[in-house]
Amino acid sequence: MTAPDAPALSVVVPAYNEQEVLPEFHRRLAAAMEGIGLAWEVVYVNDGSRDTTLEVMTGLQRQDPRAAVLNLSRNFGKEIALTAGLDHARATEAVIVIDADLQDPPEVIPALVAAWREGFDIAYAQRNTREGETWLKKATAAGFYRVMQRLGGKVKLPQDTGDFRLMSRRAVDALLKLREQHRFMKGLFAWIGFPATAVRYDRAPRAAGETKWNYWKLWNFSLEGITSFTVAPLKVATYVGFAIAVLASIYLFTLVVRTLLFGNPVAGYPSLLAVTLFLGGVQMMMLGIIGEYLGRIFNETKQRPLYFAERYLPSRQAS
């Protein structure tokens, strides 16, 4: 699919309402790419922004032949915008994925490229600090990584790593073979394997605009991560059921012995209610867990395309 004049590197940038930062982003990106000495393009993906992001992008594309614009038909979310960008990256050698909001400093890209030149297929940028983020967000993020680490089995998620990374062409091709609707990118990146290494950097606070995350979204993101990464929660019902059955038989045994020894002083309505409610709750919860998986199976079986592109303006020269 790659044209003869295809650049060596593509930079994929998903953006949703990023009109304020994009010009500054492009300036810093171009400056950072300068010293690498390879032909490059940047693929800006407009993920159904409600501001003038698209106009800013097409403006950049007009001025700079290295810029490409992919406009999605609506907002699909970062994961899918990213995948759409990867689908349209023309690079022959490697692709870099970076956020538009300058939280992932473009100045780190040369270090990623250096790691790739050493022979790694994947060079992921790993955060040293989380400046400008609340302790609650840091704590929940840390907890999330712990849980995933325990549940992940053979696939391990690198800690404090976002989507900011470089992937060799063959790693990108592998990733693009995974067309599931529920795209937990961290999990997909880890699943494909290939030699990978970390490049450490300091994550800056957002340059402008607002984060699209809130705790409800983060909770759903974690759910997405766990359910698309592992089926371990489905086993919880088995173990909880087993534990309750064991406890119940012990209790039953003591009841029989006590009745034989001391007679039956009755009572027990409150404990009966408590046990019934508890078990009802546990059963509902387990149904919910099964439902989470079932819903995802439902979405996957529809086999819909991941996105629709409204427009694609390719980059016009290799360097």
Q: Which residues bind ligand UDP (CB under 6 A)?
A: 14-16, 18, 47, 75, 77-78, 81, 99-101, 103, 211-213
Sheet with 40-46, strands from edge to edge, namely 196-203, 122-130, 161-168, 94-97, 9-15, 40-46, 67-72, 309-313
Please, what's the b/e burial string for 291-311 (b: 16 or more CB within 10 A of its CB; e: otherwise)? eeeeebeeeeeeeeebbeeee
Q: How far is the CB of 79 from Mg ion (least distance, A)?
A: 14
Q: What 3-state DSSP class applies to 163?
A: strand
Q: How far is the CB of 217 from ligand UDP (least distance, A)?
A: 9
**R_g over Cα of the chain:** 25
Q: What distances in angstroms separate CA 142 from CA 146, 149, 158, 206, 222, one per listed residue?
A: 6, 11, 12, 20, 12
Tokens found for residue 112: 């990623």
Q: Which does 229 bind (CB under 5 to 8 A by kind): Mg ion, ligand UDP, none?
A: none
For the chain, first and last CA: distance in Å?
19
Q: How far is the CB of 132 from ligand UDP (least distance, A)?
A: 10
Q: Which does 41 bind (CB under 5 to 8 A by kind): Mg ion, ligand UDP, none?
A: none
Distance CA 315, CA 89 (A): 10
Q: How far is the CB of 164 from Mg ion (least distance, A)?
A: 10
Neighbours of 74 (CB within 10 A): 9
Pick 212 or 304: Cβ nearer ligand UDP: 212
Pick 14 or 225: Cβ nearer ligand UDP: 14
User: 309 forms bridges with which residues in the sheet?
Assistant: 72
Pick 81 or 109: Cβ nearer ligand UDP: 81
Pick 46 or 103: Cβ nearer Mg ion: 103
Q: Binders of Mg ion among 61-120, rule CB under 5 A?
A: 101, 103
Q: How far is the CB of 112 from Mg ion (least distance, A)?
A: 18
Number of shown-chain residues binding Mg ion (CB under 5 A): 2
Distance CA 312, CA 292 (A): 35
Residue written as token pair 């199976």? 297
Q: Which does 78 bind (CB under 5 to 8 A by kind): Mg ion, ligand UDP, none?
A: ligand UDP
Pick 150 or 217: Cβ nearer ligand UDP: 217
Q: Which does 203 bind (CB under 5 to 8 A by kind): ligand UDP, Mg ion, none?
A: none
Q: How far is the CB of 87 from ligand UDP (least distance, A)?
A: 14
Q: How far is the CB of 44 from Mg ion (least distance, A)?
A: 16
Pick 165 or 318: Cβ nearer ligand UDP: 165
Pick 75 or 92: Cβ nearer Mg ion: 75
User: 11 forms bridges with which residues in the sheet?
Assistant: 42, 96
What residues make contact with Mg ion under the rule CB under 5 A? 101, 103
